[in-house]
Structure 1
Amino acid sequence: MIVPQFWAEGRVQERVAGKQVTVRRYGWSDESPVAAQAHADQRTREAFDRIVHKGEKLELRERKMPYNGADGVPIREEIVERQGDTVITRNTYGARCLNTPDVLFVDIDFEEPLRGSVFGFALVPALIAGVVGGWAARTWLGGLIAGIVVFVVAWVIGQRKKRGEHSGNPAPEKRAAERIARFMQQHPDWHLRIYRTPAGFRLLAMHDVFDPAATAVADCFHALGVDKVYARMCRNQNCFRARVSAKPWRVGIGDHMRPQPGVWPVSPEKLPARDAWIARYEKAAQGHAACQYLESVGNAAKVHPNALAVQELHDERTRALSGLPIA
């Protein structure tokens, strides 16, 4: 896991066969801005040679992304705090995130409930059915009947989705809990702490440390139904990650952090607006927890010291034991 303090961009522009070619790459360092620039210049020259002299099909300009971007580019977020190997950063929408190289976090999001009104969910298919039915029956009455039938069916489906009921299957929370129970039956030597998040469960493995690229991690993610984006991020960035402060829109902050996009670093003239937004956000987030501790399962006698240190930091920063509403 690499979360650098300093960033820079390199640029190589030369004429090749009568055509101007410009290549840009980022560099990073924990030592100094000068070291970051040297690294950027080195990566840019290497990319230029691969594109021009070796004919490789690479992007001329590297995209500025917070994480999960180009191969080899580390997490690009403002460092808020360091505790040993654990780094807390501020993500692009302003929340603080804990990043750890070897302590396993598993985020299980419940299936997304229906957003918006059930009426809106049902209206669109009903209109389509009305048009198609009217054309097929060659009468407006046929279209009206088809539209009403589809609207009623869609309305019932929408109501079930709003309640988390899908065709008689258990609710999403129950299905996630059942997956956890099955996993623990198959891995009785594991020790997991279970937390409730606004969108699902968060698991923290206490019995051992893990390599994010290990097969055991991939198997765990698959068995527990982990979001594929999160699984890919862990593998690409060689770390595990957990949000430790509230999402802004859940605590009444309706505007985005400035500037947009909030990929670190930002130019000095834009820092005052960013800092003002962060101060307002942190004040609003004080009355909320990022998750709530529920229970521990498995072999509680097995506790790895690295996992214990991360757990204590995580629980304090998330306010997981506070009883505050989660956001």
Structure 2
Amino acid sequence: MQIYSHWARTTLAAQNADGAPIQLIAYTGSDESLAAAQAAGRQVLQHRQARLLADEKLGEYPTGKAPLREQLEQRIYDTHGTLIAALTRNRYGSVVLNAHRVMFLDVDDLDLRQSLIRQRPTEPFSLIRFFRELFSPAAPPPPPVPPLALQEQLQLRLAAWLQLHPEWNFRLYRTRLGFRLLVTHQLLAPTSTEAQEIFAAMLTDAVYVRLCQSQDCYRARLTPKPWRIGWHRPTQPFPYDTPEQAEQQQQWQTQYAARSAAFSVCELVGEYGSGHMTPEARLLTELHDAACLGGRKLA
């Protein structure tokens, strides 16, 4: 996992090779201290300034494997004192569980729906039907796929996987616009071969897969998206430059927490497979379910 305890925003008034002024900004993290994060930022900016003066292109701000700039809320350890997860607050204010090796999968309704549409049988080509449709009003769109059909498709995929891998165990949750799977029987690295196979078999969201691989952890949102509960995103980007900004963020979080109480993030559909849980998975399952379930409107 790429999680830092301290983040700093560092700026530098610089010039490019032509003498034109330019403002450089760096976001850097450290587990040692805020001062260490700031020192790392100054080093980054000095390196960028040197490249500018040498007329080298800086390119885009680092992405991909760059750590996510999120406020650390809590680190989670197993009974042996090993770090297994961390809670962070993402850019729009929701609390996210970052699990080192306990696997979560994010499956969108859209991907399941498209898969079902592709599976529908097609009629053989007919020249008569082609001309009839060519000069007739546009046909109505196909009927929408009911949510239950999407769930049944995912359950069939689970059943097929378990036929070949009976030792596996899944917990299946319904989210606002899809499903969440939690693998409990073993620990898996996001870049492992097994992880790639199950990502593909369950039609896991491609953006989510790339994020897990680049950050070397799985992510599960534990609190609602603010716009789904009638609230706005935080007004101050993290990290905060002044005590006033930090205070504004704290006020935002207080109101956000109060509004979130009327909503749930997901609901449990069922458990499938061997029933086995590693100690790490059991710990994170209890934390996840306490935060996400509740039988309220999904957000």
Give the one of 272, 291, 294 matched to 2:269: 294
Look up the match of 1:32.
33
Aligned length: 271
When the two structures are superposed, what TM-score results if normalisation uses the length of structure 2? 0.78
Residue 197 of structure 1 deviates from its aligned partner by 1.3
Distance of aligned partners of 1:48 and 1:188 in 2 relative to their CA distance in 1, 3 Å threshold: farther
Distance of aligned partners of 1:263 and 1:240 in 2 relative to their CA distance in 1, 3 Å threshold: farther
How far apart, in 1, do the equivalents of 2:21 and 2:168 lie?
Answer: 54
User: Is the CA contact 1:78–1:89 (under 8 Å) kept in the aligned structure 2?
Assistant: yes
User: Is the CA contact 1:9–1:41 (under 8 Å) kept in the aligned structure 2?
Assistant: no
When the two structures are superposed, what TM-score results if normalisation uses the length of structure 1? 0.72
User: Is the CA contact 2:112–2:203 (under 8 Å) kept in the aligned structure 1?
Assistant: no
Give the one of 201, 204, 211 matched to 2:182: 204
Look up the match of 1:149.
137
Q: Does 2:188 match 1:189?
A: no
Residue 18 of structure 1 deviates from its aligned partner by 4.7
- C-alpha distance after superposition, 1:242-295 (max 9, x if no partner): 0111222333x1x42231xx5411333333443333222211211222111222
The 5-angstrom pairing of residues 62-211 of structure 1 reads 62=61, 70-84=63-77, 85=83, 86-111=85-110, 149-150=137-138, 153-154=139-140, 156-157=141-142, 160-161=143-144, 163-164=145-146, 171-211=149-189
Distance of aligned partners of 1:217 and 1:264 in 2 relative to their CA distance in 1, 3 Å threshold: same
TM superposition outliers: structure 1 runs of 4+ over 6 Å: none
User: Is the CA contact 1:258–1:277 (under 8 Å) kept in the aligned structure 2?
Assistant: yes
Distance of aligned partners of 1:113 and 1:248 in 2 relative to their CA distance in 1, 3 Å threshold: farther
Distance of aligned partners of 1:16 and 1:245 in 2 relative to their CA distance in 1, 3 Å threshold: closer
Counterpart residue identity of residue 87, structure 2 = I
Q: Does 2:285 match 1:311?
A: yes
User: Is the CA contact 2:17–2:53 (under 8 Å) kept in the aligned structure 1?
Assistant: no
Q: Identity over aligned residues, as a percent?
A: 31
Q: What SS class does the counterpart of residue 171 from structure 1 fall into?
A: helix
- C-alpha distance after superposition, 1:108-130 (max 9, x if no partner): 1112799xxxxxxxxxxxxxxxx
How far apart, in 1, do the equivalents of 2:257 and 2:74 lie?
Answer: 15
How far apart, in 1, do the equivalents of 2:241 and 2:59 lie?
Answer: 24
Deviates more, 1:27-36 or 1:241-250: 241-250
How far apart, in 2, do the equivalents of 1:246 and 1:297 lie?
Answer: 26
Counterpart residue identity of residue 137, structure 2 = V
Look up the match of 1:65.
none
How far apart, in 2, do the equivalents of 1:91 and 1:304 lie?
Answer: 27
Residue 78 of structure 1 deviates from its aligned partner by 2.0
Residue 15 of structure 1 deviates from its aligned partner by 5.7
How far apart, in 1, do the equivalents of 2:99 and 2:191 lie?
Answer: 13
Give the one of 262, 276, 283 matched to 2:258: 283
How far apart, in 1, do the equivalents of 2:107 and 2:263 lie?
Answer: 20
Distance of aligned partners of 1:50 and 1:80 in 2 relative to their CA distance in 1, 3 Å threshold: same
Distance of aligned partners of 1:41 and 1:196 in 2 relative to their CA distance in 1, 3 Å threshold: same
Q: What SS class does the counterpart of residue 188 from structure 1 fall into?
A: coil
How far apart, in 2, do the equivalents of 1:2 and 1:149 lie?
Answer: 55
How far apart, in 1, do the equivalents of 2:112 and 2:137 lie?
Answer: 23
Counterpart residue identity of residue 73, structure 2 = V
How far apart, in 1, do the equivalents of 2:108 and 2:152 lie?
Answer: 12
Q: Does 2:238 match 1:264?
A: yes
CA RMSD of aligned residues (A): 3.0
Runs of at least 5 residues in structure 2 that lack an aligned partner in the other structure: 78-82, 114-133
Q: What SS class does the counterpart of residue 149 from structure 1 fall into?
A: coil
Residue 303 of structure 1 deviates from its aligned partner by 2.2
Counterpart residue identity of residue 239, structure 2 = P
